[in-house]
């Protein structure tokens, strides 16, 4: 009887060990099958950020890429944004005015970090940027997007252009209020000037969420050869420190 109980106990112990081993191997295999997602911050000042991250859409980016800060600034100066108007709105008010998607001070912030990020990115990565600052009216204004190089094309994806929303609530106050939900910005269009260097412009938007993404494919080498490249922030020889 005791021998039978011992056999049962040993069998149960080995069964549990085998079960734990199988579960452990399954978890390890699942983790190994998932791609490791990492990002590297290149520049961060307040809410302004530039970082290198995995590109979910491509594994053949021409990275690392060599673009000086002056060249990056020249390309950003050519990006234009305008309010998207329907047919009735255009008939009543005409076409919306185009404005710079990146102002002079914003280019001064972005040009050098983007140049550095592109020189450090790998073929499976892209560069993310976020610009955010407070306006005179107390709102927060944000411009966000991604940039990558694929062959002769510079891919620029913009998910927000000078989008304004209220700042978050002050939770230190006793009078607690519901969080301020960012207002959905009006739909917009983006393009590149001169348009002869714009190979393709595409738009993606979700009906169930305010997630607009405008993508430009720019023949950047031809554009830089034709445009006057103005001196950029790199002239002082300083580069932003790379953070792990």
More confident residue, 95 or 16: 95
Task: Report the 10 Å Cβ neighbour count for 107.
Answer: 23
Output the pLDDT for position 233. 56
Using a cut of 0.75, tell me whether the model's pTM lies above it.
no
Residue 174 has pLDDT above 50, yes or no: no
Sequence-ordered list of residues with C-beta below 8 angstroms from that of 64, at least 6 positions apart, any chain: 118, 119, 120, 121, 122
Residue 176 has pLDDT above 90, yes or no: no
Task: Report the 10 Å Cβ neighbour count for 239.
Answer: 16
Torsion of Cα atoms, 124 then 125 then 126 then 128, to 10°: 150
pLDDT in tens, 47-64: 999 999 999 987 789 999
Helix 69-77 with 104-120: angle, nearest 10 deg: 130
More confident residue, 159 or 186: 159
Q: State how far the Cα of 239 lies from the Cα of 107, in Å rounded to an integer.
A: 15
Residue 172 has pLDDT above 70, yes or no: no
Q: pLDDT grade, residue 97 (50/70/90)?
A: low
Percent of the chain's residues with pLDDT above 90: 48
């Amino acid at each position: 009887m005791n021998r039978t109980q011992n056999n049962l106990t040993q069998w149960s112990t080995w069964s549990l060990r085998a079960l734990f081993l199988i579960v452990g191997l399954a978890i390890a295999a699942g983790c190994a099958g998932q791609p490791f997602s990492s990002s590297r911050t290149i520049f961060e000042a307040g809410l302004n950020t530039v970082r290198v991250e995995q590109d979910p859409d491509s594994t053949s980016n021409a990275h690392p890429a060599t673009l000086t800060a002056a060249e990056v600034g020249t390309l950003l100066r050519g990006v234009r944004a305008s309010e998207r108007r329907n047919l009735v709105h255009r008939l009543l008010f005409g076409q919306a005015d185009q404005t710079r998607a990146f102002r002079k001070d914003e280019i001064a912030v972005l040009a050098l970090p983007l140049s550095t990020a592109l020189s450090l990115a790998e073929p499976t990565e892209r560069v993310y940027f976020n610009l955010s600052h407070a306006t005179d009216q107390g709102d927060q204004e944000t411009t966000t997007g991604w940039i990558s190089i694929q062959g002769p094309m510079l891919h620029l994806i913009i998910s927000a252009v000078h989008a304004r929303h209220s700042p978050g609530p002050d939770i230190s106050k006793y009078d607690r209020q519901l969080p301020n939900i960012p207002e959905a910005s009006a739909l917009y269009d983006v393009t590149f000037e001169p348009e002869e260097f714009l190979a393709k412009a595409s738009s993606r938007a979700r009906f169930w969420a305010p997630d607009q993404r405008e993508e430009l494919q720019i023949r950047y080498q031809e554009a830089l050869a034709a445009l006057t490249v103005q001196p950029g922030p790199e002239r002082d020889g300083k580069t932003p420190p790379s953070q792990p």
